[in-house]
A and B are shown apart, each in its own frame.
Chain A
Amino acid sequence: MDKAIQLERLAKTYGRRRGLVDLTLDVGRGEVFGFLGPNGAGKSTTIRLLLDLIRPSGGRAVVLGLDPRRDAVELHRRTGYLAGDFTVDGRQTVRECLAFLAALRGGVPERRVTALAERLGLELAPRIRSLSKGNRQKLGLVQAFMHEPELLVLDEPTSGLDPLVQQVFLDLVREARAEGRTVFMSSHVMSEVQAVADRVAIIREGRLVTVDTVSSLRERAVRTVELHFDGPAPAGEFEGLPGVTDVVAEGPRLRCRIAGSPDALVKAAARHTVTGLLCEEPDLEELFFAYYRNGGGDDRVTDA
């Protein structure tokens, strides 16, 4: 078995509403896989299908070589899960909650739990009710990682975390990969997954738009670039450059959008004195646009 997750035409309908349409996807063992899409695209639906919390209305999923429904208990033993809206009983203390969840797994070395909590800066004594959103999320991360599962399924794992803790989280993901474990994580923000993911799938409205490596997705992405010159911006020189569109000049400032390699743009700018350069991260919608524009996605977005 070299696949951690295999989805074949996996589908889920809620009444008449379609949640997920014929999702076919493979995630290799030891891979960090980003699952990207706007809110409501079907990310949580997919994740909950993987864990047998909901059942598919069509197709099938094989996770760690197991049938999520028939082998649910075995699968859960080998999986760590962080829900999109991680909820625990607020009446428990953090320590109590972790002790309980560890006991459900047949015990977890205490050292490992306290070490994880310490790295994330999570206190064990407070009652969960009194925790902030970010601290609850840390608790969710600790319980997902503490038994060192073969497969980590994380739904929007960084939501509510401050940037410092996000870095710790990314370290945890890298360590998991280094140990050969598989991470399947969803997000609606590209930058969250691009730092660690090997490959990324993008879904929208329940359909898979594309699966690709992070670097080639970024190549394809359209981003907005802003250049500042020491004189009036020479807008004319930028119009018509390969990949450059929507050129707007305002005094010394020039804004444009660039798809693919910025090489031509940089070389054109290099003929002048550049006092400032700003390059915005492409957001997801722009990634989609890029994908449609380049035509690469058309065949894969049609009704499967």
Chain B
Amino acid sequence: MTASRMPEAPEAARTPEAPEALPHGRLPRTVWSQALRDNRRALAGWTAGTALAGAMYASFYPQIGGSMGDLTRSFPEGLRQAFHMEDLSSAAGYLGSTPFGLVVPLLALFHGAAAGARAVAGDEESGYLDLLLAHPVGRVRLVLQRYAALATGSAAVAGGVLLMMLAVRGPADLGGIPVTAFAAQCLNLALFGAFFGALALCIGCFVGRRGTVFGATAAVGVLSYAANALGPLVGLGWTRRFSAFHYYIGGDPLRNGFQWAHAGVLAAVCAVLVLLGAWAFRRRDIGV
């Protein structure tokens, strides 16, 4: 049982059209590593897409930043606050508006929601979990490892964005933002995606229907955006505290660097959601 494990195929025999994404040749396969492997193409797509979207917006800064700054100065204060357009002329202010305030987090949100909905509910509906859970893998272990894969994916997306930002930092005139500030914003981005992943996973652990899970998570995402951006406009400043967007960008990491308290809140909520989900998943029937 020791030396001869299941086949690691010789490289040549392995499906030639699918180069290995992970150097897993001698690594033990786990629920975590297999989930990453199975999702490698989707994850590569999300990472590339999100990073490119960020880069595209960033590259507009030299042309748009200044003029948009002039334009938005005439907007009402509340509106400018809502859409993070208080200061479009500075690099940090520009990036904090549409690119990091809306487009990039929205992509991270949907990546998290989609991956989280698939992690339990999707594979439960397809019947795949029946197979995995008939193996010597505890339900809690399955949930935790699936979530670890999701969080790794979210970190990969944020890491892709970070690398891309560092690559375009010079050419796009973003030198005013320190590397640590980019790192701080991308850390929050990773946690932000992981939060919606945890939420979707948790809902999936209760209901086990992929469509419901994705819809509910996306709805929470939209509400979170509204609570952060629009709540203060109508005199409901307190709604921010319940919004993941607030903990993601409220402390303005692109200007102020690491916001450990906010990052900590996101991480803690992820942990609570995942544990709650694992608790629920342990207790219920697996559907078909």
Q: Which residues of A contact B (CB under 8 A)?
A: 44, 48, 51-55, 72-74, 76-77, 79, 81, 83, 85-89, 91-93, 95-96, 98-111, 113-114, 124-125, 127, 143
A104 touches B136 (CB 8 A): yes
A22 to chain B, nearest CB (A): 19
- Residues from chain B with Cβ under 8 Å of A108 in the complex: 5-6
Q: Which of B28-36, B217-225, B239-247, B261-269 contacts A (4 or more CB under 8 A)?
A: B28-36
Q: Which chain B residues border A44 with CB–CB below 8 Å?
A: 288
Chain B residues 1-17 with CB under 8 Å of chain A are: 1-2, 4-9, 13-15
Residue in contact with A86 in the complex, picked from B28, B30, B131, B285, CB distance below 8 Å: B131
Query: CB of B134 within 8 A of chain A?
Result: yes
Cβ of B45 within 8 Å of any chain A Cβ, yes or no, is: no
- Contact of A54 with B136 in the complex, beta carbons under 8 Å: no
Q: Within the assembled complex, what's the spacing in Å between the Cα atoms of A73 and B141?
A: 11
Pick out which of these stretches binds chain A: B48-56, B122-130, B202-210. B122-130
- The answer to whether B135 touches A89, judged by C-beta atoms less than 8 angstroms apart, is no
Looking at the assembled complex, report how far the CB atom of B32 sits from the nearest CB atom of chain A, in whole angstroms.
11
Q: List 12 A-B contacts (CB under 8 A).
A: A53-B133, A72-B139, A73-B137, A76-B137, A81-B134, A85-B288, A87-B126, A91-B38, A95-B7, A103-B30, A109-B4, A113-B6
Question: Would you call B130 and A87 a contact (CB within 8 A)?
Answer: yes
Q: CB distance A83 to B6 under 8 Å?
A: no
Min Cβ gap B286→A in Å is 5
Tell me the minimal C-beta distance from B177 to chain A in angstroms: 39
Partner of B13, one of A48, A72, A125: A125
Whether A105 contacts B135 by the Cβ 8 Å rule is yes
How distant is A117 from chain B, measured CB to nearest CB, in Å? 10
Q: Which residues of chain B have C-beta atoms less than 8 A from A76's C-beta? A: 133-137
Q: What size tier do the contact residues of chain B reach?
A: 35 or more
Chain A neighbourhood of B30, CB < 8 A: 103
B135/A53 in contact, CB under 8 A: no
User: How far, in Å, is A57 (CB) from chain B's closest CB?
Assistant: 10
Assess the A107–B1 pair: CB atoms within 8 A: yes
User: Among the listed B131, B132, B133, B285, which residue makes an inter-chain contact with A55, where contact means beta carbons less than 8 Å apart?
Assistant: B285
The distance from the CB of B199 to the nearest CB of chain A, in whole angstroms, is: 23
**Which residues from chain A contact B286 at a C-beta distance below 8 Å?**
48, 53-54
A102 pairs with B133, CB closer than 8 A: no
Distance of A87 Cα from B287 Cα, bound (Å): 13
- Other A-B pairs beyond A55-B284, A110-B5, 7, CB < 8 Å: A44-B288, A48-B288, A72-B139, A73-B138, A77-B136, A91-B38, A101-B135
Could you tell me if A104 and B7 are in contact, using CB atoms closer than 8 angstroms? no
- Across the interface, which residues of A come within 8 angstroms of B8, CB to CB? 99
Q: Are A103 and B5 in contact (CB under 8 A)?
A: yes
Q: A73-B137, A109-B1, A109-B4 are in contact. Are A53 and B285 (CB under 8 A)?
A: yes
Report whether B6 and A103 are in contact in the complex, using a CB–CB cutoff of 8 Å: yes
Given A55-B285, A85-B127, A88-B131, do A113 and B28 touch, yes or no (CB 8 Å)?
Answer: no
Q: Is the CB of A73 within 8 A of B136?
A: yes
Interface contact B29-A103, CB-CB below 8 Å: yes
A92–B38 alpha-carbon span in the complex (Å): 7
Task: Identify the closest chain B residue to A153 (Cβ).
Answer: B134
Contacting A at CB under 8 A, from B125-168, are 126-128, 130-139
- A124-B130 in contact given A55-B285, A92-B38, A104-B135 (Cβ < 8 Å): no
Chain A minimum-CB-distance residue to B284 = A55
Contacts of B34 in A (CB 8 A): 100
A104 lies within 8 A of B31 (CB): yes
Whether A113 lies near B135 (C-beta < 8 A) is: no
Q: How far is the CA of A273 from the CA of B2 in the complex (A)?
A: 68
Residues from chain A with Cβ under 8 Å of B133 in the complex: 51-53, 76
Q: Is the CB of A48 within 8 A of B130?
A: yes
Give the chain B neighbours of A83 by CB distance below 8 A. Answer: 127, 130-131, 134
Closest 7 pairs between A and B when the two form their complex, measured CB to CB:
A87-B127, A102-B6, A103-B29, A81-B134, A99-B6, A54-B285, A77-B136
Which of B7, B41, B135 has the most chain A CB atoms closer than 10 A to its own CB?
Answer: B135
Chain A residue numbers with a CB within 8 Å of B4 are: 109-111
Which residue of B13, B29, B136 has the most chain A CB atoms within 10 A of its CB atom?
A: B136
Chain A residues with CB under 8 A of B37: 96
Complex Cα distance, B135 from A104, in Å, reads 7
Residue from A93, A102, A103 in contact with B15 in the complex, judged by beta carbons closer than 8 Å: A93
Q: A95: which B residues are within 8 A, CB to CB?
A: 7, 9, 14
> CB-CB < 8 A to B131: which residues of A?
81, 83, 86-88, 101, 143
Chain A residues with CB under 8 Å of B288's CB are 44, 48, 85
Kindly provide the distance from the CB of A147 to the nearest chain B CB, expressed in whole angstroms: 10
**Distance of A268 from chain B, by nearest CB (Å):** 51
Give complex CA distance A109, B134 in Å: 20
User: In the complex the two chains form, is A99's CB within 8 Å of B130's CB?
Assistant: no
